[in-house]
Amino acid sequence: MAKLKCLACTIVAALVFFACSADTLAQDEAPLLTLVEAVHLAEAHNRQLSIASLGASGANNIADAAATHFLPVLKLSAVTADQMSPVNVHFPAGSLGTAADGTLLPQKSIDLTAAAGVNTLISVTAAQPITQIEKIRAQINVEKIAAATAVVQVRAMRSAVVFKTEDTYYNVVTDCELLKSAEAAEAWNQQMCKQVRSALAAGTALRADLMSATAALANSQADVSRFVGQQRIDKMKLNETLGRSLTTQFTVSLAACALPMIPEAEADHNPTVEAALLFADQAQQKKRVITAGYWPDISLALSYYQLTTAVAGLPSKVVIVGLQASWDPFDWGERRLEARAADAAFRAAKVAYRDALAQHEIAIATARQSINDVEMYVRAARLAADAADEGLRVATNEYRVSAVPLSRLLEAHKRDISAQADLVTARLAVLRAQNALSLQLGSTTP
C-alpha cells in the first residue's frame, strides 16, 4: 500500500512538473507586447471609439449641408390632372385692351367653353435669401460648433482608451515583476530548506529552524500562486481592452513601458475644458438664430409657370421676377420666451466653462504633485532596497559562521524581498502618475 501511495505521488509530481514546464515554454515563446503596440491596438479595435469617430464624420457632413443654405433655393413642381367638368371662360368687351385704332379687344363679350380633358401645370421657382443671411450664418456656426464638439468628444474617448490601456498594461507589468521576485524567493527558500535539513541531520540545526524555513517556503509558494493568478486575470483584461481573444499569449517588460509624452500645460488641450467652451459658443449662436427670427423672410425670386390646357388662346408660359416675402409678426410670445431660454443657457454655459477650467487647473496641480511625490518615493524605495540588500548580505555571512540564528537570516531575506517589491511598485507609480497627467492634458500618444 505504501508503494502505491509513493507511485501515485511520483506520477502527480511528474504531471505538475510537465505542466509547469509547458506553461513556462509557452510564456517564453509568447511575443513581447510593448506599451506603444498595446495603445495602437486598443485605438484600432475599440468599438465605442469607432462609433464616436463615425458620429464626428456625420456632424461634419451636417455642417457642410448647412452651408448650402446660402445658395438659391430651387423648387420644381408639376401637376397633371384630368378635368372633370368643362371650363367656362368669360372675356368682357375691352378686357384685353384696345387695338391701335382704338377698337376694344374684344369688341363684345365672349364666352369660351372647353371640353373636359387633361391639364398640366409646371412651376419652377428660384429664390435667393436676403434678410435671413444672418440667421443662416448663425445656424451654420451652430452646426460647425457641433461638429467641433464631436471631434473633441472623440479625443476625450481616445484619451480614456489610452489611459485604460496604459493602466492595465502597468498592472500586468507589476504582476510580472512581483512574480519574478516571488519565484526568486521561492527558489531561495527551497535551497535554504535543503541546507537546514542537512544541518539538522548533522546535528548543527534545530527542528525549529526547519519549521521556520518550511513556513517561509510555504509563504513564498503562496505568493507565487497569487501572482500567477493575478497575472492571468490582468492579461485577460488587457486582451479584452485590445479587442482580441482573452487567451492570446504575450509577454511584457518594464523596459517596454514608454513614458507618455507630456505637452505643455495648456487648458485648451483638455477635452472637458474645450467642450465647455464650445458649448458656450454654441449657446450664443443659438441665441442669434432666435433673434434673427424676428426679421421677415425676404428673398429675390424668379418664377416660371407653364400651363397646358384644352382652352385655346390662354397664355401657356409666364415668367415673374420680384421679391418674395413671408413674415409671422405675432407668435404669442414664443420667440421672446425662446430668446430668454437661450440667454439663460448661454450664461449657464459660461459658468460651466469657468468651473471646468478651475477643475482642470486643480487636476493639473494635483497630478504634478503626485509625480513629485512618487519620484521622491522612488528614491526612498531605492535606498531602502540597497539597505535591504546589504542587510541580507551581512545576515548571510553571519549565519554562515553561526553568529546569528536562522530566523535572523529569514527576516533579512523577507525584508529584502519586500523592499524590492516596493521599488518595483514605486517605479510603476511614476508611470501611472505620468499617465494621469497625460489624461488631464489631453495627450494620447504614449
* pLDDT value for 443: 63
What's the pTM? Answer: 0.69
Q: Whole-angstrom Cα distance, residue 281 to residue 55?
A: 20
Q: Which of 238, 252, 234 is nearest to 45 (CA)?
A: 238
CB neighbour burial string for 287-311, b if at least 16 within 10 angstroms, e if fewer? bbbbbbbeeebbbebbbebebebeb
The residue type of 349 is A
In a 13 Å sphere around the CA of 264, the CA atoms on its Cβ side amount to: 2
Q: Among 3.30.1330.10, 1.20.1600.10, 3.40.50.620, 3.40.190.290, what is the CATH number of 28-83+121-441?
A: 1.20.1600.10
Residue 206 is given by DSSP the state: -
Q: Secondary structure of the chain: what % helix, strand, coil (to 5)?
A: 65, 15, 20
Backbone φ, ψ for residue 269 (5° rounding) = -80, -20
Q: Whole-angstrom Cα distance, residue 96 to residue 106?
A: 7
Residues sharing a CB contact under 8 Å with residue 329, sequence separation 6 or more, in sequence order: none
Residue with cell 439663460: 344
Residue with cell 448661454: 346
Q: Whole-angstrom Cα distance, residue 33 to residue 374?
A: 26
Residues sharing a CB contact under 8 Å with residue 71, sequence separation 6 or more, in sequence order: none
Residue 403 is given by DSSP the state: S
CB neighbour burial string for 43-78, b if at least 16 within 10 angstroms, e if fewer? beebeebeebbeebeebbeebeebeeeeeeeeeeee
Q: Are 308 and 119 in contact (CB under 8 A)?
A: yes
Full pLDDT tens readout for the chain, 446 residues: 343 334 334 433 443 343 444 444 444 568 889 888 888 898 888 888 888 888 889 989 998 888 888 888 888 888 887 767 666 777 788 777 787 777 887 778 877 776 666 778 888 888 888 888 888 888 899 999 999 999 988 888 888 888 888 889 989 998 988 898 889 889 988 988 888 888 888 877 788 888 888 998 999 899 999 999 999 999 999 999 888 899 999 999 877 776 555 555 444 478 888 888 888 898 888 888 888 888 888 888 888 888 776 555 566 788 888 888 888 877 788 888 888 888 898 899 889 889 988 888 888 888 888 888 888 988 998 999 899 889 888 888 888 887 878 888 888 888 888 888 888 888 888 888 887 887 777 665 54
Q: Which of 354, 367, 355, 352 is nearest to 442 (CA)?
A: 367
Q: Whole-angstrom Cα distance, residue 446 to residue 439?
A: 11
* pLDDT value for 218: 92
349 three-state secondary structure: helix
Q: Whole-angstrom Cα distance, residue 188 to residue 412?
A: 12
* pLDDT value for 310: 57
CB neighbour burial string for 226-252, b if at least 16 within 10 angstroms, e if fewer? ebeebbeebbeebbebbeeeeeeebeb
What DSSP letter does each residue of 27-79 carry, written as one string?
A: HHHSPB--HHHHHHHHHHH-HHHHHHHHHHHHHHHHHHHHHGGGSPEEEEEEE
In a 13 Å sphere around the CA of 344, the CA atoms on its Cβ side amount to: 6
Domain boundaries of the chain, sorted by first residue: 28-83+121-441
* pLDDT value for 248: 92
User: Which runs of consecutive H residues, i.e. helices, occur in 203-270?
Assistant: 207-241
Query: How far are the Cα atoms of 153, 160, 273, 291, 441 from residue 59, in angstroms, in the given order?
Result: 12, 22, 20, 24, 25
Q: Whole-angstrom Cα distance, residue 166 to residue 257?
A: 9
H or E element, residue 176? helix 133-202
Residues sharing a CB contact under 8 Å with residue 305, sequence separation 6 or more, in sequence order: 121, 122, 123, 124, 317, 318, 319, 320
